[in-house]
């Protein structure tokens, strides 16, 4: 078909992609026969130049590990993408690319839906693009937080039970436990969790990661990344059509 409006997902090892299925079904429901959604599985960010040459490409999503690496290849950044330093949605207008971060929108929606009044401070596990979006939202909502990552002062080796006890929101932003490595799990003092904790694991495949299973055993309220993913996808669709 001529003049098909193309959209897609840029990432590495993304055969399991939620986005292709989601948008393909969306196009069907909206009777958009002239829209298609492709997976651009690239081994290195330098290959993004080839993706940008795709005829009739109107926009694309960006996932691990390119949310930060893609920045130098874009013409413009939205305010939140600039501040966060990570992009997960790109729009293309008259040959110009603009990067956005709709993870912020998806995470805020998730947090608003599940957070309770006593959950006043957070631990952010990880330091990649998704963690940056999460920290941005927490700052906007004046929720104090600590980052736990391999390179931070508080890391997975020295993370104490007391710190976990005193931070009632735990956001798991690392890819550890993602399909196909579903048996992997971060080293974490799960015994410090209680039914007063909210656990948000940004992974959506599998539905229940080992992290969520172990947290749920302690009575914590657990949420995976599926709702956030749907919300950020809808925001991306809005951007592409605005």
Residue 81: per-residue pLDDT: 97
Residue 236: per-residue pLDDT: 98
The enclosing domain of 182 has a CATH number of 3.40.50.720
Residue 229: per-residue pLDDT: 94
| pLDDT 10s digits, 13-38 | 887 788 999 999 999 999 999 999 99
Residue 190: per-residue pLDDT: 98
Residues 18 and 89 in one domain: yes
Task: Give catalytic residues, as residue numbers.
Answer: 67
Q: Does 46 reside within a domain? A: yes
Q: Are 8 and 39 in contact (CB under 8 A)?
A: yes
List Cα–Cα distances, 239 to 1, 8, 42, 79, 91, in angstroms. Answer: 24, 14, 24, 14, 7
Q: Does pTM surpass 0.85?
A: yes
Residue 64: per-residue pLDDT: 87
Number of separate domains in the chain = 2
Tens of pLDDT along the chain (242 residues) come to: 568 999 999 999 887 788 999 999 999 999 999 999 999 999 999 999 999 999 999 999 999 899 999 999 999 999 999 999 999 999 999 999 999 999 999 999 999 999 999 999 999 999 998 999 999 999 999 999 999 999 999 999 999 999 999 999 999 999 999 989 999 999 999 999 999 999 999 999 999 999 999 999 999 999 999 999 999 999 999 999 99
The enclosing domain of 31 has a CATH number of 3.40.50.10860
- Asked which of 49, 72, 101 is the last residue of a domain, the reply is 101
Answer positive or negative: Cα dihedral of 126, 114, 116, 208. negative
- Asked which of 57, 84, 101 is the last residue of a domain, the reply is 101
Q: Does 236 reside within a domain? A: no
List, as one string, the DSSP characters of 58-120: EEEEE-TT-TTTTGGG-SEE-HHHHHHT--SEEEEETTEEEEE--HHHHHHHHHHHH--TT--
State CA 17 to chain mean position distance: 13
Average pLDDT, the chain: 96
Q: Which residues contact 19 (CB under 8 A, 6 or more apart)?
A: 9, 37, 61, 63, 233
Residue 60: per-residue pLDDT: 98
Residue 2: per-residue pLDDT: 62
Residue 15: per-residue pLDDT: 79
Residues 87 and 110 in one domain: no
Residues 85 and 177 in one domain: no
Residue 23: per-residue pLDDT: 97
């Amino acid at each position: 078909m001529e003049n098909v409006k193309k959209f897609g997902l840029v990432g590495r090892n993304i055969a399991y992609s939620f986005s292709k299925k989601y948008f393909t079904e969306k196009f069907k429901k909206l009777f958009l026969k002239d829209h298609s959604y492709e997976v651009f599985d690239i081994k290195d960010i330098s290959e993004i130049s080839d993706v940008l040459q795709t005829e009739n490409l109107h926009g694309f999503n960006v996932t691990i590990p390119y949310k930060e690496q893609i920045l130098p290849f874009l013409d413009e950044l939205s305010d939140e993408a600039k501040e966060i330093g990570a992009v997960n949605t790109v729009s293309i207008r008259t040959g110009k690319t603009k990067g956005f971060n709709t993870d912020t929108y998806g995470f805020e929606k998730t947090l608003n839906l599940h957070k309770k009044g006593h959950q006043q401070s957070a631990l952010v596990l990880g330091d990649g693009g998704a963690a940056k979006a999460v920290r941005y939202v927490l700052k906007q909502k004046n929720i104090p937080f600590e980052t736990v990552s391999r390179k931070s002062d508080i890391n997975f080796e020295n993370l104490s039970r007391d710190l976990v006890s005193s931070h009632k929101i735990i956001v798991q932003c690392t890819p550890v436990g993602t399909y196909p490595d579903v048996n992997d799990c971060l080293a974490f003092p799960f015994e410090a969790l209680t039914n007063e904790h909210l656990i948000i694991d940004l992974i959506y495949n599998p539905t229940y990661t080992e992290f969520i299973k172990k947290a749920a055993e302690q009575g914590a309220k657990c949420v995976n990344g599926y709702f956030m993913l749907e919300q950020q996808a809808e925001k991306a669709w809005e951007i592409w059509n605005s």
